[in-house]
Amino acid sequence: MIIVNLDVMMARRKMSLNELSGRVGITIANLSILKTGKAKAVRFSTLDAICRALDCTPGDILVYRDE
């Protein structure tokens, strides 16, 4: 199971969904879907932009846990 920790990284960086949306260039609705773990996929370019905006690595946002 993949766990999405986007909300954790946003809180650590004190960044709102609106601010991240503006920096990354994707809609708040799409970021919200990703943040809640309901996304079926994420483009590498989107993940790259999120990591740049939050100054983190993909492993900080996406974590694998065995069910």
Delimit the domains of the chain by residue range. 2-64
Confidence grade of residue 67 (pLDDT, cut at 50, 70, 90): confident
Q: What is the DSSP letter of 36?
A: T
Confidence grade of residue 50 (pLDDT, cut at 50, 70, 90): very high
- Residue-level length of the chain: 67
Q: Residue 14: what pLDDT?
A: 96
Tell me the pTM: 0.91
CATH 1.10.260.40 fits 2-64, yes or no: yes
- Cβ(4)–Cβ(47) under 8 Å? no
Q: Residue 5: what pLDDT?
A: 94
Half-sphere exposure of 56 (CA within 13 A, CB side): 19
Percent of the chain with pLDDT over 70: 100
